[in-house]
Amino acid sequence: MKPAVLKKWIPAALAPAVIAAFAMGASISANAQVQLEPKTPQQVLQMIAGSHVTDFSGTARTTLDLGIPQLPDAESTGMAQPGPSEAGVDSPSSDDPESAGADMLGMLSALSGTHEARVYVDEPDKARIQVMEEMNEQNIIRNGSSLWHYDSAENTAVHVELPESHRQAGPPRHTMQPPTPEVVADRFLDAMGANTDISVQADTRVAGRDAYTLELDPRSENSLIAKVSIGVDAATGAPLEVVVDAVGQEDPAMAVGFTTFTPETPAADLFEFTPPPGAEVREREIPKDHLGRKNPERFPDHKPGAKDETVEPDSKDLADPPGAINGTGWDTVMVVPASQVPEDLAANELLNQLATPVEGGKLLHTSLLNVLVTDDGRMVFGAVTVARLQAAANDQ
């Protein structure tokens, strides 16, 4: 099954909580002994903040294990899973509640497993992600204001002309830039709060490069995340790998990393695209709710310290949230009002098969994400326990 992120844009209501769904990478650190100059957590954070790798190319691989059972075939449920032709970039979610529920569950299931891609970035406005699966190829290419998504299996090309607001100078971070370990690391660094222990663990090698290992440990009984390990390139300060361990799960729930990495400007022709002969070309528009604003600060000014060093929360977000935010740091929960949730989501057939009845609604559980659909039609989700979701639903 193809990665859902290349089949359609992630629904806005899920994007903040399924950062793993937009990640590309793998747990690829070598076990070879590496001896680097000792650094404090603050110094490694300063390396990341001071990294100026704007142009690069590399091979990335995704490993995602959220503990989701295999979904039944669409035919067995009477629900078709839309592809690019039915759900282009102007359709982040379907108006049909059954399809919307299938999209949400299908996205999480499809992303499980391992995927590999080539990533090319020439900031501020050129980027390409190229995924090969068997004989098929998926490409997302940005060249200035032009954005293309090409699917060789369907021989379809979707084109978007980016609005004026997205043609500004500076890197298109977290919006049109291909997903990289840096993007995923930024998400965690921006989201972590004061209930975080931060430390530097054993040096390692990622993609053949010496790297520091920055570890984030949530001090929260509500968090589904046990720890986050970030491999930081010793030469450039760029995050090369992110590994996320879930509470109670032996293998990493999500790993994001490069297998090869070259911090040089890719060839210009890699960002040029002309639809092949016979391809069906569609013009689309990006929904306004997918045009996030950039965060000028990637994380606050942390103070150096030992294992029990704490960090202050960053109140700024990268895009307007789809609902109300409840809590901070690792305890953050998103509460989406019923008016923004498909009316019949609670009656969705796939949701009923995978969800568990709990007090106040139905729970869809994964190792890194819990989603509660309340009896009154709201959607409450986060990387937290069901008890935390229920408390947020009750505004506690």
Report pTM.
0.72
Give the residue-averaged pLDDT of 97-121.
64
Residue 114: inside a domain: yes
Judgement on whether residues 238 and 165 belong to the same structural domain of the protein: yes
Give the residue-averaged pLDDT of 234-263.
94
| Helix, strand, coil tally for the chain in percent (to 5) | 20, 30, 45
User: CB count, 10 Å around CB of 123?
Assistant: 17
Could you tell me the residue range of the domain that residue 273 belongs to? 4-290
Least confident of 254-258, 267-271, 303-307, 378-382: 303-307
Predicted pLDDT of residue 285: 78
Which strands, in side-by-side order, build the sheet including 239-246?
A: 196-206, 209-218, 225-233, 239-246, 254-262, 55-64, 113-122, 126-133, 136-143, 146-151, 156-161, 280-284
Predicted pLDDT of residue 300: 38
As for how many domains the chain has, the answer is 2
Predicted pLDDT of residue 16: 35
Give the residue-averaged pLDDT of 37-62.
93
Residue that terminates a domain, selected from 290, 316, 349: 290
Give the residue-averaged pLDDT of 306-311.
39
Q: How far apart are CA 79 and CA 178, in angstroms?
A: 30
Residue 187: inside a domain: yes
Sign of CA dihedral 282, 283, 288, 290: positive
Q: How far apart are CA 282 and CA 136, in angstroms?
A: 20
CATH of the domain at 212: 2.50.20.10
pLDDT class of 135 with cuts at 50, 70, 90: confident
pLDDT class of 110 with cuts at 50, 70, 90: low
Q: Which structure tokens are listed for 395?
A: 């505004």
Residue 303: inside a domain: no
Residue 356: inside a domain: yes
| Most confident option among 3-17, 241-255, 321-335 | 241-255
Check if the beta carbon of residue 316 is closer than 8 Å to that of residue 190. Answer: yes
Least confident of 157-166, 216-225, 245-254, 264-273: 157-166
Best CA proximity match to 131, nearest among 182, 86, 179, 83: 179
Judgement on whether residues 103 and 182 belong to the same structural domain of the protein: yes
Which strands, in side-by-side order, build the sheet including 356-358?
A: 324-326, 333-336, 379-382, 370-374, 361-365, 356-358
pLDDT class of 23 with cuts at 50, 70, 90: very low
Best CA proximity match to 266, nearest among 372, 121, 157, 91: 121
Predicted pLDDT of residue 108: 57
Check if the beta carbon of residue 374 is closer than 8 Å to that of residue 341. Answer: no
More confident site: 234 or 71: 234
pLDDT in tens, 320-357: 455 688 988 999 999 999 888 877 776 777 777 788 89
Judgement on whether residues 347 and 283 belong to the same structural domain of the protein: no
Judgement on whether residues 345 and 239 belong to the same structural domain of the protein: no
Residue 310: inside a domain: no
Residue 377: inside a domain: yes
Q: Which structure tokens are listed for 64?
A: 């995602």
pLDDT class of 396 with cuts at 50, 70, 90: low
Best CA proximity match to 63, nearest among 314, 368, 364: 368
Judgement on whether residues 239 and 328 belong to the same structural domain of the protein: no
Judgement on whether residues 69 and 10 belong to the same structural domain of the protein: yes
Residue that terminates a domain, selected from 245, 268, 290: 290
The pLDDT of residue 97 is above 80: no
Sort strands 196-206 and 156-161 into parallel, antiparallel or unpaired: unpaired
Predicted pLDDT of residue 192: 82
More confident site: 3 or 356: 356
Give the residue-averaged pLDDT of 299-308.
38
Judgement on whether residues 274 and 334 belong to the same structural domain of the protein: no
Distance set, CA 138 to CA 22, 74, 153, 273 (Å):
15, 22, 8, 13
Judgement on whether residues 219 and 350 belong to the same structural domain of the protein: no
Q: How far apart are CA 229 and CA 47, in angstroms?
A: 16
Predicted pLDDT of residue 341: 83
Judgement on whether residues 244 and 338 belong to the same structural domain of the protein: no
Judgement on whether residues 349 and 245 belong to the same structural domain of the protein: no
Residue 298: inside a domain: no
Predicted pLDDT of residue 114: 82
Residue 319: inside a domain: no
Judgement on whether residues 344 and 240 belong to the same structural domain of the protein: no
| Most confident option among 63-72, 201-210, 295-304 | 201-210
- Percentage above 90 pLDDT, the chain: 45
Judgement on whether residues 344 and 232 belong to the same structural domain of the protein: no
The pLDDT of residue 306 is above 50: no
Residue that terminates a domain, selected from 290, 316, 335: 290
pLDDT in tens, 176-222: 445 689 888 988 998 887 889 999 999 999 999 999 999 999 999 99
- Percentage above 70 pLDDT, the chain: 66
